[in-house]
């Protein structure tokens, strides 16, 4: 659930939950303070308050009718006593005045000062029962009576509402207080729950940030949420992982740089040592004949050439590694190109005694996009590497072109000594030597196949090797094919 949805639901809950709770509390308070109002008395579900009110109204209506039609009943003390019993049950009473004298007063409303208050009461005959009050508790209805002896009197019908209003004085403060409590508790609890669901993950993220600041990149962040904070946590975790990987790569690069410097120093020191030994031999007079001096000078030239070749390869590899080496790709027939390379190699002196063959398996034109100069470097580096390990009487190198639908694969196989499986995966690493002493003897720099790999990556191709000890090694590289505009001949 998103934070936006969670906040929206909390706002809705903050509105409706207090209303529901307030309604329940209000109903409970009503049942406590006005239980006479909430009870049922007629078996039909009518509240007792309204039932009593209806009964009182009916009894008052009967007394009013009698006051008009048969007023002498109000001189009958027995009638008044019976009537008073009924009125008392309904929290009401009567006062009868004849010729300015009080002739009957219900004990329910009896008070020594009652008559004076009734005289001072400014109300017309038949006033509403919720009108003027006496003694601050009785509502009064006044009706004039003319008795049979033509004397004038007044009938006062009094209703005691004091318990009701006393309860109201307690009811409303409690009702208002409960409203504030419900709103405060509901909003407080919901605010706490919602804020905790936001603050807790923020605290976790803060802790993770502190760990990263202190250099601890092992502290994982896993909020296990699907909202915006969960997405933030996932982004934070990805940042941590990338930062950790970046530092790991930086350390690896630093280690590789140190290794590179060490390897360069070692590979340069070897020919320099040879050159220095030759020079010292000449200076010390060891080369005391013309033939010895020629031999020493030849060794110096050879070591110098070896250094020059190594420096060129280092310069080339560094540019390839930094992605600063330009490739000039052009459409070319790979089959024809490899055929020409083989013909050229057959004339090379270093291939003397080596049988080299080329086989285009499909026998058709294979179009690729490639840099001719660097493709030649790839083939020559692989061939040079193979020549170093040809240890059989009949030395053979085979070049095959395998034409697939999406790419062309070149396979260069020799029948040399082969490569250990543990070393096979490292032969394309820079300065890697399966047999350092043997490579030194043959003048290898350890960069030939590393350069092949970099050039292949620049051609969007790939390179790999397969080998069997004692049987030889096969090195493969691929180039993406292109289609001829007027149909693919393959």
Q: What is the CATH number of the domain that holds 141?
A: 3.30.450
- Confidence (pLDDT) at 121: 62
- Residues 337, 468, single domain; the answer is yes
pTM of the model: 0.48
Q: Above pLDDT 90, what percent of the chain?
A: 6
* Secondary structure of 260-290 as H, E, C letters: HHHHHHHHHHHHHHHHHHHHHHHHCCCCCCH
The residue from 126, 160, 194 where one domain ends is 160
- Residues 132, 234, single domain; the answer is no
52 within a domain of the structure (yes/no): yes
The residue from 319, 343, 366 where one domain ends is 319
Give the sign of the dihedral formed by CA 304, CA 307, CA 309, CA 315: negative
Residue found under tokens 């007063």:
105
209 within a domain of the structure (yes/no): no
Show Cβ contacts of residue 437 under 8 Å, excluding neighbours closer than 6 positions: none
- Confidence (pLDDT) at 358: 92
Tokens of 88: 């008392």
- Residues 302, 346, single domain; the answer is no
Other CB atoms within 10 Å distance of the CB of residue 9: 13
Structural domains of the chain, count: 3
- Confidence (pLDDT) at 489: 45
Tokens of 58: 């009916």
User: What region does 431 belong to: left with phi over 0, alpha with psi -120 to 50, or beta?
Assistant: left
29 within a domain of the structure (yes/no): no
| Mean pLDDT, range 400-404, rounded to an integer | 88
- Confidence (pLDDT) at 2: 66
Please say whether the beta carbons of 463 and 453 come within 8 A: yes
**Integer CA distances (angstroms), 182 to 174, 178, 188, in order:** 12, 6, 10
Show Cβ contacts of residue 481 under 8 Å, excluding neighbours closer than 6 positions: 366, 367, 368, 403, 404, 405, 406, 407, 408
Distance separating alpha carbons of residues 410 and 238, to the nearest angstrom: 40
Show Cβ contacts of residue 39 under 8 Å, excluding neighbours closer than 6 positions: 47, 48
285 within a domain of the structure (yes/no): yes
Tokens of 189: 């609890």
131 within a domain of the structure (yes/no): yes
Distance separating alpha carbons of residues 414 and 468, to the nearest angstrom: 11
- Residues 354, 270, single domain; the answer is no
Per-residue pLDDT at 38 exceeds 80: no
Question: Residue 68: pLDDT band by 50, 70, 90 thresholds?
Answer: confident
Helix residue ranges, H only, 347-447: 372-387, 421-424, 436-442
- Residues 421, 339, single domain; the answer is yes
- Confidence (pLDDT) at 411: 92
Per-residue pLDDT at 346 exceeds 50: yes
Per-residue pLDDT at 104 exceeds 70: yes
- Residues 356, 305, single domain; the answer is no
Question: Residue 36: pLDDT band by 50, 70, 90 thresholds?
Answer: low
Per-residue pLDDT at 300 exceeds 80: yes
Tokens of 111: 């008070």
The most confident of 27-31, 81-85, 90-94, 254-258, by mean pLDDT: 81-85
Output the domain CATH number for residue 275: 1.10.287.130
- Residues 332, 460, single domain; the answer is yes
- Residues 332, 465, single domain; the answer is yes
Residue found under tokens 């030759």:
278
Other CB atoms within 10 Å distance of the CB of residue 174: 14
- Confidence (pLDDT) at 9: 75
- Residues 333, 458, single domain; the answer is yes
Nearest to 270 by CA among 135, 137, 437, 400: 437
Output the domain CATH number for residue 334: 3.30.565.10
Per-residue pLDDT at 232 exceeds 50: yes
244 within a domain of the structure (yes/no): yes
Please say whether the beta carbons of 387 and 428 come within 8 A: no
- Residues 476, 338, single domain; the answer is yes
Distance separating alpha carbons of residues 476 and 366, to the nearest angstrom: 16
Please say whether the beta carbons of 327 and 458 come within 8 A: yes
- Confidence (pLDDT) at 490: 47
User: What region does 146 belong to: left with phi over 0, alpha with psi -120 to 50, or beta?
Assistant: beta
Q: What are phi and psi of 369, to 5 degrees?
A: -100, 120
Angle at 198 between CA 196 and CA 203, to 5 degrees: 85
Please say whether the beta carbons of 137 and 164 come within 8 A: no
Specify the length of the chain in residues.
Answer: 490
The most confident of 21-35, 55-69, 98-112, by mean pLDDT: 55-69
Q: What are phi and psi of 289, to 5 degrees?
A: -125, 160
Distance separating alpha carbons of residues 433 and 430, to the nearest angstrom: 9
470 within a domain of the structure (yes/no): yes
- Residues 352, 314, single domain; the answer is no
The residue from 133, 160, 187 where one domain ends is 160
Please say whether the beta carbons of 52 and 163 come within 8 A: no
Question: CA gyration radius for the chain?
Answer: 57
Distance separating alpha carbons of residues 46 and 37, to the nearest angstrom: 9
Distance separating alpha carbons of residues 140 and 126, to the nearest angstrom: 9
Pairing of strands 395-403, 354-360: parallel
Please say whether the beta carbons of 275 and 256 come within 8 A: no
Show Cβ contacts of residue 90 under 8 Å, excluding neighbours closer than 6 positions: 52, 55, 56, 59
- Confidence (pLDDT) at 48: 58
- Residues 145, 281, single domain; the answer is no
Distance separating alpha carbons of residues 80 and 96, to the nearest angstrom: 9
Question: What is the domain extent for residue 135?
Answer: 48-160
- Confidence (pLDDT) at 337: 92
170 within a domain of the structure (yes/no): no
Per-residue pLDDT at 487 exceeds 50: no
């Amino acid at each position: 659930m998103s934070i936006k949805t969670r906040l929206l639901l909390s706002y809705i809950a903050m509105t409706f939950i207090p209303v529901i709770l307030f309604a329940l509390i209000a109903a409970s308070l009503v049942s406590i303070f006005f239980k006479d109002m909430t009870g049922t008395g007629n078996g039909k579900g009518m509240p007792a308050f309204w039932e009593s009110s209806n009964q009182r109204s009916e009894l008052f209506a009967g007394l009013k009718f009698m006051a008009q039609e048969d007023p002498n009943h109000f001189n009958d003390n027995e009638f008044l006593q019976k009537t008073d019993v009924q009125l008392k049950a309904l929290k009401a009473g009567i006062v009868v005045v004849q010729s300015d004298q009080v002739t009957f007063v219900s004990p329910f409303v009896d008070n020594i000062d009652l008559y004076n208050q009734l005289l001072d009461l400014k109300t017309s005959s038949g006033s509403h029962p919720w009108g003027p009050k006496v003694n601050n508790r009785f509502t009064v209805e006044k009706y004039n009576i003319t008795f049979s002896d033509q004397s004038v009197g007044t009938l006062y019908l009094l209703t005691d509402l004091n318990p009701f209003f006393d309860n109201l004085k307690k009811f409303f403060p409690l009702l208002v207080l409960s409203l504030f409590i419900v709103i405060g508790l509901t909003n407080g609890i919901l605010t706490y729950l919602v804020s905790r669901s936001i603050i807790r993950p923020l605290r976790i993220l803060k802790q993770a940030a502190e760990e990263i600041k202190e250099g601890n990149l092992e502290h994982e962040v896993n909020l296990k949420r699907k909202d915006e904070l969960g997405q933030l946590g996932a982004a934070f975790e990805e940042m941590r992982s990338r930062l950790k990987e970046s530092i790991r790569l930086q350390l690896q690069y630093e280690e590789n740089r140190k290794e590179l410097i060490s390897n360069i120093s070692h590979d340069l020191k070897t020919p320099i040592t040879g050159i220095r030994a030759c020079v010292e031999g000449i200076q010390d007079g060891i080369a005391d004949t013309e033939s010895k001096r020629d031999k020493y000078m030849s060794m110096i030239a050879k070591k110098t050439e070896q250094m020059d070749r190594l420096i060129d390869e280092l310069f080339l590899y560094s540019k390839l590694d930094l992605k600063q080496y330009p490739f000039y790709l052009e459409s070319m027939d790979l089959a024809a190109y490899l055929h020409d390379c083989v013909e050229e190699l057959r004339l090379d002196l270093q291939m003397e005694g080596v049988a080299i063959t080329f086989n285009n398996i499909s026998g058709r034109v294979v179009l690729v996009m490639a840099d001719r100069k660097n493709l030649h470097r790839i083939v020559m580096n692989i061939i040079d590497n193979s020549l170093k390990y040809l240890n059989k009487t009949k030395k053979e190198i085979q070049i095959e072109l395998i034409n697939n639908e999406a790419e062309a694969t070149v396979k260069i196989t020799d029948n040399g000594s082969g490569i250990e499986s543990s070393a096979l995966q490292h032969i394309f690493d820079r300065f890697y030597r399966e047999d350092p002493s043997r490579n030194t003897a043959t003048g290898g720099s350890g960069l030939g196949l590393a350069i092949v790999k970099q050039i292949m990556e620049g051609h969007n191709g790939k390179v790999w090797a397969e080998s069997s000890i004692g049987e030889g090694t096969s090195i493969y590289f691929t180039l993406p094919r292109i289609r001829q505009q007027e149909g693919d001949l393959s």
